[in-house]
Amino acid sequence: MLTCPGKIHTLAIPNHKEVGRGLLRDQIQKAGLTIDEFNTRCAEIL
């Protein structure tokens, strides 16, 4: 689960071996994040 202080959003990514680029970008945008913010958050938890 990714969190962003001050923001309340749910980001649901299907648990598939591969996720389409368009789907991932759409979900990130709906969560109110930029691609860079999402990548930074992912790097922090991995």
- Domain residue limits, the chain: 20-46
Cα(44)–Cα(21) distance, integer angstroms: 21
At 8 the pLDDT is 67
At 9 the pLDDT is 64
Q: Answer whether 0.85 is exceeded by the pTM.
A: no
* Alpha helices (H) in 1-46, listed in sequence order: 21-30, 35-45
In the chain (46 residues long), the average pLDDT of successive 10-residue segments reads 63 76 86 87 78
3-class state of residue 1 by DSSP: coil
Cα(34)–Cα(40) distance, integer angstroms: 10
